[in-house]
Amino acid sequence: MNRLLLSVAMVFSTFLVSIGQGAYQIRVNPSELTLKVDEVKTIQAVVVDDQESYVTSREILYFGTPEVSVDSLGNVTAHRPGEHQIIIISPDPQGAVLRTSYLVKVEYPPLSRIEIREMPQKIYSGTTFPVAIEVFDEKGFQREDITVVLTSSDPEIIDFDELHNLSALKPGNCVIQATAQGISTSMTLTVVKNPVVDLKISADKQQARTGDVIQIRGQAFDDKGNEVVDIPLFYSFEGRSFDISSSAGGLIKQDGRFVAEVPGHYQVAVNSGSKAARLSLKILPRNVARNIEVVGSGVVSDKHTSDLWIWEGVDGRDYAVTGTWGADGTAYFWDVTDPANIERVDSIQVDARTVNDVKVSADGKICVISREGASNRKNGIVILDVTNPREVKTISTFTENLTGGVHNLFIYQNHVYALSGGQKYYVIDIKNPAQPEIVGKFELDTPGHAIHDVWVTDGIAYSSNWQDGVQLVDVGNGIAGGSPSNPVQFAAYKYPSGAHHATFPFTSPSTGKFYTVLGDEIFPYGLNTNGPNMAGGFLHFVDFTDLDHPEEVARYELPGAGSHNFWIEDETLYVAYYNGGVRVVDISGELMGDLYRQGREIAFIIPSDPKAYIANSPFTWGAQLHKGHIFYSDWNSGLWSAKLAPVTPDETKIETD
C-alpha cells in the first residue's frame, strides 16, 4: 500500500511540476530598455513561477540581431537606431521551452550639423529656386527623416515655402537660417536687381508628332539687349487635346526638352521672375500603327515553353530552337524557313526539368542549352552540334562550377557566358566544344549580389544584376583592357526597384545616342498554377552615351502586364510582355518620357490558344525578328510567327520652317 501511495505521489508530483511549468514565465529587468547608439546596458532575465518566485534551475539564453547585440550575460549593445527585439529563451529538454521578445529602443543620435548646398553665386530678384539642405547626426549619418525649417531675416527680401523653394522678392541683404532639433546654420545672401526686361522663346520645331522631342530655348535679355545667361529659367507647358475625352499630357525638362503624349495644341512657356514668354506647338498623332497577322505556329501543348533562338543554318534554311520549362529537359528544333509551316524537325532530351535558355553560335553550328533541375543536381550546360538541325548531336556536357543551375547564357566568339547559381557568370572557352574550359568569371562584390541574364555584343557583356542594375563589362572590346579571361567592368546603372532582369544595348541610328534598354521582371499578382498569370514591370531606357553619367530618360510600360525578353532591330523594339503578348514599338528618334502613352506602339499580338498547356493563357516569353518575321515563344503554347503589314504612307503633314 505504501508503495502504491509513493507511486501516486510521484505521478502527482510530476503532474504538479508540469502544471507549474505551464505557469512559468520569463521576467526581464528592466522591463523596458532605451539606449543610445554604441551604448551598452545590462538586462537580467529570470524565470519565475506563478508565485513570482525565481526558478533557479532554469537557464537563460539571450539572442540579439545585427541592430542590437547581446552577450550571454545580458549586456546589450545598440548598433542602429530604431525599435528592435532581442529574443530571450529558457531552454528545457522536456520541451517546456520559454521564450519572450524584449523590445529595445535605440535613440537616433543627436544632430550635429545642417548644410545648405548648391546656392547660386548671384540671386536675381523675382526668381525662385529650390534650396538643397543636408542634415547629419553625430554618428556622421545623413538623415532624411528630419524636418528642417527655413527662415529669413527679412521675408520681404527672401521668403520660403514649405518645400524649401526660395523666392527672391527684392534686392537687398538677408540672412537665411535652417533649423532642426535645436541646431541651425545660417548664410548671408544678397539679392540683386533683376536686369531682365525681355524673354524670348523658340523651338527647333513647332509641329511634331507625339513622342518627338522638341528642344525649347528660352533667352533672357537686359535693357541693353545683352543676353543674361546666368539667370534661372523655368519651363512649363499646358495643352488641349484634339480629343475632348483625353488630357493633353507630356513631359518638359528644365533644359528645355519637351515631348507630348497626346495630339493637341500645346503652349510651352519660359518664366523668369515676372517675365514670361510663350510658344504654341501643334502635336499630331504619331501614326505608326500597323496591322500584324499570325503567320504560323509550332504548338507545344504538353509542357511549358521557355526561350527561343532563330538562326540561318549552314544549309541556308532557317531554324529555331525552343526550350521547355518545369518539364522533362527537352529542347525542340524547328524548320522555320516557311514561317507559315513551322515544322518540328528534331528534339533532344537532357537530364533536367528546365531548359531555360537556348542559344546558337553565329556560324550556325553550335547550340548551347542550359540545365536546371538535373537529377544528379550537377546541372550546367549541354553543347550540341546543330550543323544538321534535323539530326542534333550532343557534343559535351559541362557542369564545372555550374551545379547550382544555369538560368541564362550567351555565345560570343567561341565562348559561352553562363550564369552560375544566380550570382555570377563564367566564361567558358568552346573552341574545342568537346572539351570546354573555364577561362574567366565575373562576379560583383556587393552585399547580396545576384544576376539574372547576360548578353554579349561588340566585346561588351551586359549583365542584368537585379538590384545592382546593368553592368557593362569589357570582354574583348578593348574599352577597358578586358578579355574573356579578364572581364573588366567599366560602367553600370541601377534603379530603385531593383527588378532588373534583362538588357539589350541599342545605338539609335537616327540620333547616334547609345542606350541600354533594361527590363524588369516582377510578379505583383502572385502565382496561379492552373490559369492565367499577370506580370508587372516595364522597360527602362537609359542614355549611356556618356558612360560615366548614364541617365534614365524613358520607359515603355504596358498597363496590366509585365516585360520579359526583348529584341531590337533598326529602330523597332519587339518585346515579349508575358500576358500582354508581343508588343512592337517604334523607338526612333530621341527617347524621352512615357513611350507607351506617346502612341509609339506599332502593333501587338497575343498568342491565345484553347489547346495550350494552360488553355487561353498567353504568357509570352521571348521575341526575335528574323528575315522580316517576328518569331516568339509562349510559355503555354509554344513557338509562333507573325508578320507586320507594310508601312502605309503617313498622310500627316508636319510643317517645317
Binding site for another protein (CB under 8 A): 59, 61, 63-65, 72, 85, 87, 89, 91-93, 95, 97, 99, 101, 303, 325-329, 349, 351-354, 372-373, 375, 377, 400-405, 420-423, 437-441, 448-452, 466-467, 521, 523, 526-529, 533, 535, 564, 578, 619, 621, 635
Q: Which is nearer to another protein, 34 or 423 (CB)?
A: 423
Other Cβ atoms within 10 Å of 630 Cβ, number: 25
CB of 391 to another protein, least distance (A): 22
CB of 448 to another protein, least distance (A): 6
Q: Which is nearer to another protein, 377 or 431 (CB)?
A: 377
Query: Among residues 562, 632, 643, which one has the least CA distance to residue 300?
Result: 632
Unique residue bearing C-alpha cell 502504491? 4
Q: Which is nearer to another protein, 6 or 97 (CB)?
A: 97
Q: Which is nearer to another protein, 154 or 351 (CB)?
A: 351
Q: Which is nearer to another protein, 34 or 467 (CB)?
A: 467
Q: Which is nearer to another protein, 206 or 565 (CB)?
A: 565
Do the Cβ atoms of 436 and 398 come closer than 8 Å? yes
CB of 21 to another protein, least distance (A): 13
Chain centroid to Cα 215, Å, comes to: 29
CB of 400 to another protein, least distance (A): 7
Q: Which is nearer to another protein, 201 or 461 (CB)?
A: 461
CB of 333 to another protein, least distance (A): 18
Residue 200 makes CB contacts below 8 A (sequence gap 6+) with 218, 219, 221, 277
Q: Which is nearer to another protein, 124 or 425 (CB)?
A: 425
CB of 43 to another protein, least distance (A): 17
Do the Cβ atoms of 631 and 609 come closer than 8 Å? no
Q: Which is nearer to another protein, 172 or 326 (CB)?
A: 326
CB of 429 to another protein, least distance (A): 10
Q: Which is nearer to another protein, 56 or 274 (CB)?
A: 56
Q: Which is nearer to another protein, 140 or 496 (CB)?
A: 496
CB of 566 to another protein, least distance (A): 15
Q: Which is nearer to another protein, 373 or 476 (CB)?
A: 373
Query: Among residues 607, 604, 612, which one has the least CA distance to residue 640?
Result: 607
| Alpha-carbon gap, residue 562 to 558, rounded angstroms | 7
| Alpha-carbon gap, residue 601 to 488, rounded angstroms | 37
Do the Cβ atoms of 575 and 583 come closer than 8 Å? yes
Cell numbers for 111, please give them.
544632430
Q: Which is nearer to another protein, 193 or 377 (CB)?
A: 377
Q: Which is nearer to another protein, 313 or 405 (CB)?
A: 405
CB of 122 to another protein, least distance (A): 49
Residue 633 makes CB contacts below 8 A (sequence gap 6+) with 305, 306, 307, 308, 322, 576, 620, 621, 622, 639, 640
CB of 327 to another protein, least distance (A): 5
Amino acid at 407: H
Which is it for strands 98-107 and 33-36: parallel, antiparallel or unpaired?
parallel
CB of 33 to another protein, least distance (A): 17
CB of 496 to another protein, least distance (A): 15
Do the Cβ atoms of 203 and 260 come closer than 8 Å? no
| Alpha-carbon gap, residue 263 to 265, rounded angstroms | 7
| 130 three-state secondary structure | strand
Question: Sign of dihedral through CA atoms 440, 467, 581, 241?
Answer: negative
Query: Among residues 484, 469, 611, 461, which one has the least CA distance to residue 542?
Result: 469
Please list the helix, strand and coil fractions of the chain in percent, rounded to the nearest 5, in that order.
5, 50, 45
CB of 310 to another protein, least distance (A): 21
Cell numbers for 444, please give them.
560583383
CB of 635 to another protein, least distance (A): 7
Angle at 463 between CA 459 and CA 465, to 5 degrees: 160
Three-state SS string across 467-532, please? Answer: CCCEEEEECCCCCCCCECCECEEEEEECCCCCCEEEEEEEECCCCCCEEEEEEECECCCCCCCCCC
Do the Cβ atoms of 281 and 257 come closer than 8 Å? no
Query: Among residues 200, 245, 248, 193, which one has the least CA distance to residue 221?
Result: 200
Which DSSP letter does residue 645 get? P
User: What number of residues does the chain have?
Assistant: 657
